[in-house]
Amino acid sequence: MSKHPRRPIPPRAAALQRKLTLESLEPRRLLAVDFNLLKDVNATPTPGVFSVVEVGPVVFFVGNTLTNGYELWKSDGTEAGTLLVKDIRPGSANSAIRYLTNVDGTLFFVADDGTSGSELWKTDGSESGTVRVRDIRTGASSSSPQELLNLGGTLYFVANDASSGSELWRSDGTESGTSVVRNIRSGAEGSSPRSLINVEGTLYFVANDGTTGYELWRSDGNAAGTISIRDIRPGAVGSLPYSLVNVGGTVYFSANDGGGGAELWRSDGTEMGTVLVKDLRAGIASSIPRHLINVGGTLYFTANDGVSGPELWKSDGTVAGTLRVKDIREGATGSFVSYSSLANVGGTLYFRAHDGASGQELWKSDGTEAGTLRVKDINAGSGSAYPQYLSNVGGTLYFVANDGASGVELWKSDGTETGTIRVKDLRAGVYGSFPRSLTNVGGTLYFNAIDGVTGRGGWKTDGTEAGTIRLKEVDERSFSSNPSSLTPAGGALYFVADDGATGNQIWISDGTEAGTARLTEAKAGWGGSFPRYLTNAEGTLYFSVSGDEIWKSDGSADGPVRVSDIRPTDNQEVQSLYAVGSTLYFVANDGSTGYELWKTDGTTAGTSLVKDIRPGADGSSPRSLTNVEGTLYFAANDGPAGYELWRSDGTAAGTLRVKDIRPGPIGSSPRFLTNVDGTLYFNANNGASGLELWRSDGTEAGTVRVTDIHPGAGSSFPRYLANVDGALYFVANDGATGYELWRSDGTAAGTLRMVDINAGPESSNPHLFTNVDGAVYFVANDGASGDELWKTDGTAAGTARLKDIYPGAIGSSPGQLTNAGGRLYFVANDGASGDELWVSDGSEAGTQRLIDSVPGPGSGSPQSLTEANGRLFVALTTGQFGEELWVADLRPALPGDYDFDDDVDGADFLFWQRQLGVAHSSPGIGADGDASGHVDGGDLTVWQSHFGEPAAASRESTSDANAMLSAFVSTADSMSANDVAAVDALYGNGDFTTLFAEARLLRPHRRLRVPR
């Protein structure tokens, strides 16, 4: 159970009073839906303390509280002396403090006060002395300072003032003394300096002047003294220097001169003195030197010479003195992985390596082969301890590792096996406390970790168990579980979440807190199973797990079961899980055939390669798997024909290329495969008419181009194909009107641009087509209002912007368009409340923000809107719980109240009429009042039976209304359940003004939902 109670987010509401007619959707009020926290899956409190920096007798840090959000704090080591410095962005919104940098006793940092954007600030530790240094990019936009570096008492950094782009700046802490050093690349793009380092008082960095690409530069702080050292790779590409490190006044780095690949270079700051140290991997291939570090005046780094794989090297700057220290893991695999870390502790190099036998463990080196050895096999045997966050604290190495029994905990080492010990088992059990953010402050190690009792918090240690203590918590908010991959299957909702203890695992929910639980881990260990590609195949959930291929679950307590292990000896990443009935198709590589099409019936014996379309190790790499009436269509590359359209019935003989649309190895590259009532539509390029719209009935003769929208060799690039009630909607560019909305019935004559939303050659770029009971909602830009929500009935006259949610040219950028219960839910930003959840009933007035989960300009950033079992699930971010799943019940509490306005009236009849014939994925939502799964005559009976509830009605109005109701209800009862045409004929010519006026008399005490 969660430690927090479920807390509703109240909806916004308004009363909308207009004349009601069948022809329009005018008189309705905001859908009253209450969202509640489903479960605080990751109830682990946030540590409250980040980015600790020592400045004189105090430490500054970023603290997180419910009242103030993330703000700047300070501490002298006592509880009484731990104080908020300043609430830079008043209220619970965060000021997003970053890059804390001590410059001779003054703390510089970057913050956003909510008015001036992200800018440079400084503090002397007092509230009044905490000020913005300069508003470099005036107004609400941000200059986004980064790469802060103290060089001789002057702060250097990179910022963007909008006119000069991202350039090098300096500051002495005053507004007038904060200026751009040199505008290296004229114009708004900027030179984007990076990798700033101090080399004996001279600033070295990498920048792009727009002509020579990214090259090595240096600066003395003046415009004239800011120069490019050498154009290592002539031309606009640049040599892309990286991993700059100072060794005795010489800068070492990796760069690519265009001929010898990425290799080790050095520079003394002059053009002549900037040279290749050694070509470790001869030819154009790269040795990719990385992890450069200075240990006692010797450069150490990792590189791959093409024979031994990534191993440890050292250099004194000469060809002869650049040597591999030791071939720790013989063979081409190498002992180093890309995320290895190196640390200098008292002149000894510590690092993480894999010798091929004992896994990834802690090693050390004195620069000799004999002196390069494993410190300790922490996770004994072939398992790996994965040491990381290697940190030097007063001559002792601290790091994080997993011994296989206590989980991920804090360790320390003096370089000996016996002196390499766990500091403290902060969280008993196999998961561990996952220490992070190791920071040395005056010889004391600060970090954050999960103790298993109070959650993640700030800690400090002197290296002893007794001296490892939890810090005072500024406040406690929950971490996010980051729910994703929401997938309904078998009457439940499955999703992936991280509870802070077991990593990313699969969870299951019936829509209640009590019914929300984690399934047994498919793969326990560091970080979790990382399930992907959750797919519902007739009630069974299939998914892939990193390195363990296909798994399935029926939601039972027994947990997931592994279906296949196609490639037992190696990590295998399956791709593109897709269900056709109860058969799951997927793309996998068994080590010999390359990526090809496979299938499974859920058993190991029933898991097999469908067909080796491209014999050999390359594989055909099938993509865009699509079900058309039980036949699987996809694009694949057989080698000679390139990517073309294929189909399969699940057998090798029945897996065939439909048509070689573009003969030769280039292929037609079909994409956006879409089933429209048994016909497959897609885009393809036949080599003559460009990328255009095609259709197929599965035969070669029946696979044809629909029409050449952009005549000639040019392409119309059809995309975002969508089936709406048997009509194809898509976006295309005819060469004259830009990317606009089109529809097609499969014939050339019936393929038409519906409307030119952004008149002229500019594009409106319609996208996110979503069908809600026959009306198509989408996002488009008319050139004046930005991206806003639009709606169409399939005609030019019936295509219009639904609402200008964020007036002006910016637009509200709607996203996550979702049909749930006959209404459109989506995410939008109105300019005042950030990205929040909205709802629409199809009218401008009925398009309103549903919740404001982060009050003010902050964003709740709703994600993963999913309807399952009559409920709408959404991942929302709130200040207290972080990002978690929230849920709203879409089933009306009052029978017949189809528009959720708390009474059963004529508006509910209208809602029923417009949904007549619709089949809902969850019985009981929308106008499915009898929970049959279809909106039919039975739901009209429910409405009629509860008409007038809940308010007491006067006898006269009840009598009059019942008399009129009887006339059309009796007729409706005799018609076929899904006869939409009959309903339209019955009611289309009637004047129901009197009827609905009488209906309103049945509820004289009409209630409104109001903001709470």
423-435 per-position pLDDT tens digit: 999 988 888 888 9
pLDDT of residue 29: 37
DSSP E strands, 557-614:
561-562, 575-580, 583-589, 595-600, 608-611
Write out pLDDT tens, residues 119-154.
Answer: 999 999 999 999 999 999 998 889 999 999 999 999
What secondary structure letter does DSSP report for 56? T
- What does the pLDDT average to over 677-691? 96
How many Å apart are CA 621 and CA 702, to the nearest integer? 25
Which has the minimum average pLDDT: 44-58, 276-290, 567-581? 44-58
Nearest one of 109, 155, 115 to 137, comparing CA atoms: 115
* Token pair of 953 as six digits: 């009605």
Write out pLDDT tens, residues 80-96.
Answer: 888 899 999 987 778 88
pLDDT exceeds 70 at position 932: yes
Query: Under the phi-then-psi rule, with left for phi > 0, alpha for psi from -120 to 50, and beta for the rest, what region is 652?
Result: alpha
Per the model's pLDDT, the better-predicted residue between 944 and 250 turns out to be 250
What secondary structure letter does DSSP report for 941? H
pLDDT exceeds 60 at position 955: no
What secondary structure letter does DSSP report for 92? S
DSSP 369-395: STT-EEEE-SS-TT-----EEEEEETT
pTM (2 d.p.): 0.65
How many Å apart are CA 467 and CA 464, to the nearest integer? 5
How many Å apart are CA 783 and CA 557, to the nearest integer? 54
- What does the pLDDT average to over 220-232? 97
Give the distance between the most distant pair of CA atoms in the chain: 107
Write out pLDDT tens, residues 368-391.
Answer: 999 999 999 999 998 899 999 999
Produce one character per residue of 302-334: b if its CB has 16 or more CB atoms within 10 Å, e if not. bbbbeebbbbbbbbebeeeebebbbbbbeeeeb
How many Å apart are CA 950 and CA 660, to the nearest integer? 65
In a 3-state reduction of DSSP, which class is residue 989?
coil
In a 3-state reduction of DSSP, which class is residue 317?
coil
Residue pair 157/179 in contact by the 8 Å Cβ criterion: no
* Token pair of 381 as six digits: 């045997």
* Token pair of 945 as six digits: 């039976």
Query: Under the phi-then-psi rule, with left for phi > 0, alpha for psi from -120 to 50, and beta for the rest, what region is 925?
Result: beta
- The domain covering 340-472 belongs, at the CATH homologous superfamily level, to Prolyl oligopeptidase, N-terminal domain (2.130.10.120)
Neighbours of 357 (CB within 10 A): 11
- What does the pLDDT average to over 258-272? 96
Residue with tokens 């409405």: 943
Contacts of 27 (CB under 8 A, 6+ apart): 16, 17, 18, 19, 20, 907
Residue pair 375/350 in contact by the 8 Å Cβ criterion: yes
What secondary structure letter does DSSP report for 918? P
* Token pair of 973 as six digits: 């009862």
Residue with tokens 């004229």: 186
pLDDT of residue 183: 96
CATH 2.130.10.120 placement within the chain:
340-472
DSSP E strands, 319-418:
323-326, 342-345, 348-354, 360-365, 373-376, 388-393, 396-402, 408-413
pLDDT exceeds 50 at position 696: yes
